[in-house]
Amino acid sequence: MTVTDTFRRPLKDLRISVTDRCNYRCNYCMPFDEYVWIEKDAILTFEEIVRVASVVADLGVEKIRITGGEPLVRRDLEALVQSLAAIEKIRDLSLTTNASLLAGKARALRAAGLDRINVSLDTLRKDRFLKLTRRGDLDQVLAGVEAARVAGFVPIKLNTVVIRDVNDDEILDLVDYCREHGFEQRFIEYMDVGNANNWSMERTVPKQRILETIDARYPVEPVGRPDGRAPAERYRFKDGSGFVGIVGSVTEPFCGSCSRGRMTADGRLVTCLFSESGFDLRPLIRGGASNERLAETIARIWAGRTDRYSETRWEAIASGRPMPAGRKIEMITLGG
Ligand code: SAM
Ligand code: SF4
Ligand code: SF4
């Protein structure tokens, strides 16, 4: 079964946040020490998450990404992975992590059936890493990435948010690191997600500039988007040493092919990364609703989806009009 929204976009991917807590405070995501965190008893249990995942799989979802906050701060995450991996229609189960706790977890996650790992890494400089994350130790992260490699995860993708005058001087260092270790680098344009990071367009390094920087040192050719729907446009190094991806969410929006839904750790279904609110599924999940009722509700929410925030934002920037207004959900609550 496939459900489609008002622009005929199917629901194919679900990003599940398993916690809004994080052991880092990345400046561009959640710079505050304290925040209004989700109440502990509102957080969905693993059983509840797996139930929703099975329901959306029957609605056509094929890919699930576990995210957060930092997903690895949730205890026994491998148990959730094992249950999600057992859902037959899910053909791709992945995790996005800051990798701070990955060294001790990689093997168990692999054994539990996790297919892929994306590690967020914005700098290879120890002092800069601490400044950016406000708490992190780069060596722990690099040990986590190495543990993932040893555990057999292929490919391992490294996600880097490029911010002008913060880490845009490291684009080639990160490319070198990935080429040497057999990882796939993905650069992400800095976005106006949430409200806490004080985003401004001047700090976003456009995809085209990132591409030119890479191409000048290592010539690349475009190979398109995996599945035609993935956020990253991929490029092949002409010397045969792998691929690099760039996510141009701001300057080259891809709302037209966006098939991603998101669920917060307390069970709110959110249809766009820039939404101001979600649809609370918890009363249904905890109120005795049948799976059919849950499926109908999710299908109805998706069918009414009209989101195209990044296109609207780009139209506003390009024409000098004001940016779309509104108080968005924070990235740490929503998951990337
Ligand atoms: N804590 C995990 C991590 O950092 O990988 C998972 C959650 S984090 C919110 C998911 C992704 O969102 C990370 O790759 C992070 O770099 C990205 N992200 C956070 N704020 C962003 C922003 N303002 N613009 C672009 N990407 C952002
Ligand atoms: Fe950084 Fe991820 Fe934590 Fe946000 S959720 S502060 S991106 S580690
Ligand atoms: Fe999808 Fe919303 Fe991002 Fe557009 S802005 S690609 S609809 S999540």
In Å, what is the CA distance from 32 to each residue of 29, 174, 191, 196?
Answer: 9, 27, 18, 8
Token pair for 217: 């040192």
Ligand 1 mean position to 250 CA, how many Å?
15
If you ran DSSP here, which 8-state letter would residue 203 be given?
Answer: G
The pLDDT score that the predictor gives to residue 1 is 81
Beta bridge partners of 162: 189
Pocket test for ligand 3, best of 251, 259, 272 (most atoms within 8 A of CB): 272
Pocket test for ligand 2, best of 17, 18, 23, 30 (most atoms within 8 A of CB): 30
Q: Which residues of 90-122 are buried (b: 16+ CB within 10 A; e: fewer)?
A: beebbbbbbbbbbbebbebbbebebbbbbbbbb
**Poorest-pLDDT segment among 80-84, 108-112, 224-228, 323-327:** 323-327
Give the pairing type, strands 220-224 and 233-237. antiparallel
Give 229-249 as a DSSP string: T-SSEEEEETTSS-EEEEE-T
Q: For 164-214, what is each residue's pLDDT tens digit? A: 999 999 999 999 999 999 999 999 999 988 777 778 889 999 999 999 999
Ligand nearest the Cα of residue 273 is 3
Contact predicate 299/4, CB 8 Å: no
Ligand 1 mean position to 290 CA, how many Å?
34
Ligand nearest the Cα of residue 192 is 1
The pLDDT score that the predictor gives to residue 145 is 98
Give the pairing type, strands 184-189 and 243-247. parallel
Ligand 2 mean position to 101 CA, how many Å?
13
CA angle 300, 259, 76 (to 5 degrees): 90
Residue 319: CB partners within 8 Å, gap ≥ 6?
none
Atom 2, ligand 3: residue with shortest CA distance: 272
| Range 150-176 average pLDDT | 97
The pLDDT score that the predictor gives to residue 230 is 87
Ligand nearest the Cα of residue 193 is 1
Q: What is the largest CA-CA distance in the chain?
A: 59
The pLDDT score that the predictor gives to residue 16 is 98
Q: Is 232 left (phi over 0), alpha (psi -120 to 50) or beta?
A: beta
Token pair for 235: 């490029």
**What phi and psi values does residue 4 have, to the nearest 5 degrees?**
-125, 155
| Range 269-275 average pLDDT | 95
**Poorest-pLDDT segment among 9-18, 187-196, 292-301, 327-336:** 327-336
Ligand 3 mean position to 106 CA, how many Å?
30
Strands (E), 42-197: 63-67, 92-97, 116-120, 156-162, 184-189
Q: Which residues line ligand 3 (CB under 6 A)?
A: 254-255, 258, 260, 272-274, 307-310
Contact predicate 129/138, CB 8 Å: yes
Q: Is the CB of 335 under 6 A from ligand 2?
A: no
Q: For 227-253, what is each residue's pLDDT tens digit? A: 788 899 999 999 999 999 999 999 999
The pLDDT score that the predictor gives to residue 273 is 94
Contact predicate 332/22, CB 8 Å: yes
The pLDDT score that the predictor gives to residue 205 is 97
Token pair for 156: 């391992």
The pLDDT score that the predictor gives to residue 84 is 98
Q: Which residues line ligand 1 (CB under 6 A)?
A: 22, 28-29, 67-68, 70, 96-98, 120, 159, 161, 188, 190-191, 193, 197, 331-332, 335-336
Is residue 336's pLDDT more than 80?
no
The pLDDT score that the predictor gives to residue 110 is 98
Ligand nearest the Cα of residue 335 is 1
Give 259-313 as a DSSP string: -EEEE-TT-EEESSTT-S--EE-HHHHHTT--HHHHHHHHHHHHHT----HHHHH
The pLDDT score that the predictor gives to residue 189 is 97
- pLDDT category of residue 334 using cuts at 50, 70 and 90: confident
- pLDDT category of residue 291 using cuts at 50, 70 and 90: very high
Report pTM. 0.97
Atom 14, ligand 1: residue with shortest CA distance: 120
Is residue 120's pLDDT more than 90?
yes
Ligand 1 mean position to 87 CA, how many Å?
26
Q: For 24-41, what is each residue's pLDDT tens digit? A: 999 999 888 888 899 999
The pLDDT score that the predictor gives to residue 270 is 97
Is residue 255's pLDDT more than 90?
yes
Ligand nearest the Cα of residue 23 is 2
Taken in order of first residue, the domains within the chain and their CATH numbers are 13-334 (3.20.20.70)
Ligand 2 mean position to 112 CA, how many Å?
24
